[in-house]
Chain A
Amino acid sequence: MALILSLIIVLSFIFLFFYKYQPAIPGALGTLGVFGVFIYLCTYIQPVIQGEKVIEAVSWVPELKVDIGFYLDGLSLFFALLISLFGAFILLYSIEYMKGKPKANRFFFYLFVFLASMLGLVLADHVILLYVFWEMTSISSYFLISYNNHEKKARRAALQALLITNLGGLALFVGLLLLGHQCGSFHLSAIIQNGQTLAGMSTIILLILIGCFTKSAQFPFHFWLPNAMAAPSPVSAYLHSATMVKAGVFLVMRLNPVFSTDIMWQVSLLAIGSITMVLGAIRAVKAFDLKSILASITISTLGVLMALIGVGSDLALQGALLYLAVHALYKAALFLVAGNVDRQTGTRDLRKLSGLYRNMPFTTCAALLAGLAFAGLPPVLGFVVKEKLYEALLGGEEYLYWFLIVFIITNAIYFMLAVKLTYDLFFGKSILSQAVKEVSVIMWGPPVFLSLMGLLFGVGGAHFESFFSVAAEATMNKRGAREIDLSLWHGFNTAFILSGITWLIGLAFYVGESKFRRLAGITKLFSLDHAYRSILRHLQSFTYVVTRFFQHGFLTRYLKVIFVVPIVMLSWIYMEGKLFSEIHFDNWKSSFSEVYAFFPLLLIFTGTLFILRTSSRLRILVCLSLVGYGIALFYAVFSAPDVSMTQFLVETITLVIFTIVLNRMPKSASFPLEPRKVLIAGVSIAFGIIITCILISVQQYPLNPALKDFYIQHSVPRGHGENVVNVMLVDFRAFDTFGEMVVLSMTALGVVALINLKSKEDKL
């Protein structure tokens, strides 16, 4: 598994660096590579059906017991196959779609990073690894949504998606950690074997569900998904309908064996799923933009999946898995169709499009086939699955009948939308002014093929039954569930009657569309987009106030804070520990043993005195340097030549740079007023006293010479140098020095950025 991921990452870099020069070769290589991954994964199908589970682990952080572990069973294989197959098609499509667009190499790079992280997400065994991949999908999605980064809308949508999914991601992280801690293992393969009730179950469930709901765009977090349609069409098809948004569903399925008996798990999934299902369907009715309709249907379908997992019976879980496959197939196809239409006509507005079948016959074909699946008509898989779901709900508890009714209405809306998306769009009178041509085979091939797969599964479903059964079994907490029956014709039973009713209601909706649309206006009340925006706005103004409070921009105030805080804290420590009384001046005589020390002292004293006497900036600067040189001389006297040299040089550079700065500053006439002078003098004196106290205190305690002796002893034999200070800097503590170099470089950058700020831009 690790090999697959590394292969995809390598491919991503090939695209990043070589796509610019020669788009065809990486294109072919990438598509073949991803398709190869799909074929490779196919070889696992037979072993997995026979009940084999593959576990791979490479040590990563052994101290924390985190490893790069992969776990392949029916469920993860199902998802991995879906992701790699779709990846190959989407990639093929994108190569044509992105042809000639700027920054296309970055687009493919992000797409591959996403592909790798999505595969990693479904295959991960260790929960930390799963979380890492989870966040990586969010981040790559962020870059893909904001691909058109010159558009404000795209940037905002990307940020919104990132913020919301990351918020959920954090909750999920805590939830996974708690789960791992309670189960005693951080490996999913072990966690899902756990049969006992865990302590703090409801907290864990809540946190994990928040993560899954944000990722899978469930109410109340659903609003980010329609906005994410700012991404290029293949991205919408791949990330925001077929794969990434299914990550939440995947995790819920994966963990279902652990939680399935918990009432809170079932109820929240069923409730939130149902709300999202209805809300998404009604939103779709309202919209005119092709992609926006499709996005709303995606939200709705994700709700269906969540609710079905909440129902929890064998049939419902099997149905959910199949439904997921059906949805991925037709939705990706429809998104690609929308992309084709958008590219060729320049609009995605349903009101401006009609009768396209004359211009785009193959795209129409794809749309019709996908529409069949979407509407749940025979003979495609969509029909079979819908029948199965009706059956599953019919046989269940009493409250499920309510859900069944809502589900039927939702399906009726789907039927109506399917008619709209196929009949209205492609048939009827052509109202386009310009001539529209069909896209090339690379662009109509993938959607046709994807929708054909639906037909293949529908007619020849019997061949795939055992695989789907194994995949569905991984979501249950028991073994030996019923085999899935995928035969197209189930007989004239209740489920078929319900299907008929669905189609009739759907037709009625289609006829009375304008009234229905007005009714759909109420969903606006449920949109939290406004709430999100106002929260963001208030957060921004709050941070602005806080930042302005601390970063006011007055140098003198900063300095006062810098000096007053240590004064207060240190004197508090002295008072608390009654250390003032311990200060005595017995050994002051030894401090003056060095006669030469009087000269620098004189220099410092003179410098300070002149600073107080003068009011010219330049003179103050020179006097300050005098103090600095005095200190440097002190070092020299007490035999620290390296430190002394450094101090001399730094003092010089400071003096020179300050002179340049002073030369460029406006001449200020006003000097500190008397009361402020008193305040500054008070702070200075207090600071001086407290530092003096500390220095005297320090002298009273013997210093531990071990460290000093170590360096002096080892400098020559191990550091090959007689200058201990330098050996420390470049050898013993080289990493520290390196860190300081980086800091210095960053500081230089920061200073330059500050200096070059134009006054107009000098706003937060």
Chain B
Amino acid sequence: MKTAILQAAVKVLMPIFLVYSLYLLFRGHDSPGGGFIAALVLSIGLIFHMIAFGVPETQQTYKIDTMILTGIGLLLSFSSAILSMIFGEGFFYALWSDITVKGIGTISSVLLFDIGVYMAVTGAILKIAFAIFNR
């Protein structure tokens, strides 16, 4: 389905998908959104990119290795649990700092966890989508 219309549309829409998914990711703690939803939004964008340009093109453009993405995601999420233990708290105890970044929110181990979710889910969905599309 490499049509010019879809390709042109995806090219315009992709940055929006990307930014919007990040926006959803960071605002998730106080308003609707969060890592999972953000990952779904990003995946939809990337899947459309895949349909328009093919799997190799998508992988190259965004430098994605789905397995590594999933792995890093899982590692980040799990490290938030270990981080709490290093600081002498319980497993998966949320740590909160005083630093607040505009647009991202308060830096915390929860944020780290959510970013992990974001990456792992994106990786897993894309892995399935790539495999099916390549078949």
Q: Which residues of A contact B (CB under 8 A)?
A: 641-642, 645-646, 649-650, 652-653, 656-657, 660-661, 664, 719-723, 725-727, 729-731, 734-735, 737-738, 741-742, 744-745, 747-749, 751-752, 755-756
Contacts and interface: CB of A to CB of B under 8 A. Distances in A.
Interface of B: 28-37, 40-41, 43-44, 47-48, 51, 66, 70, 73-74, 77-78, 80-81, 91-92, 94, 96, 106, 108, 110, 113-114, 116-117, 120-121, 123-125, 127-129, 131-133, 135
B132 A745 contact: no
Nearest to B127: A748
A653 B50 CA distance: 13
A735 to B, nearest CB: 5
Given A726-B34, A745-B120, A755-B131, 14 more contacts: A641-B32, A657-B129, A661-B132, A664-B132, A721-B29, A721-B110, A726-B114, A730-B28, A734-B113, A737-B77, A741-B116, A745-B74, A751-B131, A756-B135
Contact of B124 (A645, A734, A748, A755): A748
Contact of A752 (B32, B48, B96, B127): B127
Most B CB within 10 A of own CB, among A649, A734, A747: A734
Contacts of A749: 127
A726 B28 contact: yes
Interface SS of chain A:
helix
Q: Closest 7 CB pairs between A and B?
A: A649-B40, A721-B29, A748-B124, A641-B32, A726-B34, A722-B30, A752-B131
B94 A731 contact: yes
Nearest to A738: B77
Nearest to A741: B120
Contact of B96 (A641, A649, A720, A751): A720
Contacts of B32: 641-642, 645, 723
Contacts of B78: 738
B61 to A, nearest CB: 19
A653 B43 contact: yes
A652 B91 contact: no
Contacts of A727: 29
Given A729-B36, A755-B135, A649 B124 contact: no
A657 B34 contact: no
Contacts of B51: 656, 660
Contact of B34 (A656, A720, A723, A747): A723
B127 A720 contact: no
Contact of B41 (A649, A719, A722): A649
22 contacts: A642-B34, A642-B37, A649-B40, A652-B44, A653-B43, A653-B44, A653-B47, A656-B44, A656-B48, A657-B129, A720-B29, A723-B33, A725-B34, A726-B28, A726-B34, A734-B80, A738-B81, A741-B77, A744-B124, A745-B123, A752-B127, A752-B128
Contacts of A650: 40
A720 B94 CA distance: 10
Most B CB within 10 A of own CB, among A641, A645, A749: A645
Contacts of A645: 32-33, 37
B103 to A, nearest CB: 16
A686 to B, nearest CB: 33
